[in-house]
Amino acid sequence: MKFDIVTLFPKMFDSPFGESMIKRAVDKKIIEIKTHDMRQWAWNSYGAVDDKPYGGGIGMLIRVDVVDKALKEIKNKNSHVILTSARGKRFTHRDAERLGKYENVIIICGHYEGYDQRISDLVDEEISIGDYILTGGEIPAMVMIDSIVRLLPGVLGKDDSSKDESHSSEGYIEYPQYTRPEIYEGKKVPEVLLSGNPILIKEWQKQQLKPVKPKVNIPS
Ligand SMILES: C[S@@+](CC[C@H](N)C(=O)[O-])C[C@H]1O[C@@H](n2cnc3c(N)ncnc32)[C@H](O)[C@@H]1O
């Protein structure tokens, strides 16, 4: 699977993609990641990719001709194009599974105040990673790629290790897990996990699977 990322900040990807699981997936040739500096398709000789919004308003917008030129060069018949957008569809585990089936995913990272609406017509989908505003689409691209890649066959140590995770079943979170020490500040590991009985342990783990309702310790 190949990822093409169109960004104003290609260097931002060096560290997160140069470590751990993504690096291993690249080394094993399960994925290929190519970053493209958006400025190579700039509309002027100073490398500008943005312009003022018609009708006024604060900030600048990424121009449609810049993204169009980029896609004409990068896209092929197997490409699926994503635009990062705070207005897009909220990214979920199901999307990570679905997007991992494409041969080529192209991610356009937005920046500035936003983008010319006509860019929307050039892409297959607009994706948001949550209801908050980030400075650009680089972190959303990293989040999506990380969650897609860890589900690809051969990436995790055991192909099974992503099966029981939170969100792998619709709306459920993983059972709680414990490691040493057995007792910490009076808090004990559940007895059943120390029993050595795999049937009882499996049963307990099944009972612990919960509908998504994260713990939030914020006074109301
Ligand atoms: C500063 S934001 C622009 C926000 C825009 N003015 C709005 O209100 O929707 C710049 C770019 O960062 C990216 N971005 C910001 N927040 C995002 C999010 N939650 N999910 C995905 N992309 C996001 C998008 O590409 C966006 O165009």
Residue 163 pLDDT grade (very low, low, confident, very high; cuts 50, 70, 90):
confident
Please name the residues in contact with 182: beta carbons below 8 A apart, sequence gap of 6 or more: 188, 189, 194
3-class state of residue 193 by DSSP? helix
Domain 2-149 has CATH 3.40.50.1370: no
pLDDT of residue 159: 58
pLDDT of residue 211: 80
> Judging by beta carbons within 10 Å of its beta carbon (0-12, 13-18, 19+), is residue 201 exposed, middle or buried?
middle
Which atom belonging to ligand 1 lies closest to the Cα atom of 137? 13
Q: How many angstroms separate the first and last alpha carbons of the chain? A: 46
Give the pLDDT mean for 109-132: 98
The class that CATH gives domain 164-211 is mainly alpha
**Percent of the chain at pLDDT above 90?**
86
Please write the tens of the pLDDT for every residue from 48-60.
999 999 999 999 9
Residue closest via CA to ligand 1's atom 18 equals 86
Ligand 1 lining (C-beta closer than 6 Å): 84-87, 110-111, 113-115, 128-130, 132-137, 140
Please identify which residue in the block is written with the tokens 């209801």: 131
Instruction: State pTM to two decimals.
Output: 0.94
Ramachandran sector of residue 195 (left: φ over 0; alpha: ψ -120 to 50; beta: rest): alpha
Residue closest via CA to ligand 1's atom 15 equals 134
Mutational pocket test of ligand 1: of 134, 135, 143, the residue with most ligand atoms within 8 Å of the beta carbon: 134
Please identify which residue in the block is written with the tokens 């059943």: 192
Mutational pocket test of ligand 1: of 82, 128, 133, 135, the residue with most ligand atoms within 8 Å of the beta carbon: 133
Q: How far is the CA of 111 from the centre of ligand 1 (A)?
A: 7
Q: How far is the CA of 12 from the centre of ligand 1 (A)?
A: 17
Average pLDDT, the chain: 95
**Cα–Cα dist 197/202, whole Å:** 9
pLDDT of residue 117: 98
Which atom belonging to ligand 1 lies closest to the Cα atom of 91? 20
Q: How far is the CA of 167 from the centre of ligand 1 (A)?
A: 25
**Cα–Cα dist 36/42, whole Å:** 12
Please write the tens of the pLDDT for every residue from 77-99.
999 999 999 999 999 999 999 99
Residue closest via CA to ligand 1's atom 25 equals 110
**Cα–Cα dist 25/150, whole Å:** 9
Does the structure show a pLDDT above 70 at 160? no
Do 134 and 93 form a contact (C-beta atoms < 8 A)? no
One-letter amino acid of 72: K
Do 139 and 87 form a contact (C-beta atoms < 8 A)? no
pLDDT of residue 165: 85
pLDDT of residue 97: 97
Q: For the chain, where are the E strands, in sequence order?
A: 2-7, 32-37, 50-51, 61-62, 79-90, 104-108, 114-115, 125-128, 172-173, 183-184, 187-188, 210-211
User: CA 138 → CA 8, 98, 109, distances in Å?
Assistant: 9, 21, 6
Domain ranges of the chain: 2-149, 164-211
**Cα–Cα dist 133/138, whole Å:** 12
Using CA atoms in the order 183, 187, 191, 196, what is the torsion angle rounded to 10 degrees? Answer: -40
Does the structure show a pLDDT above 60 at 26? yes
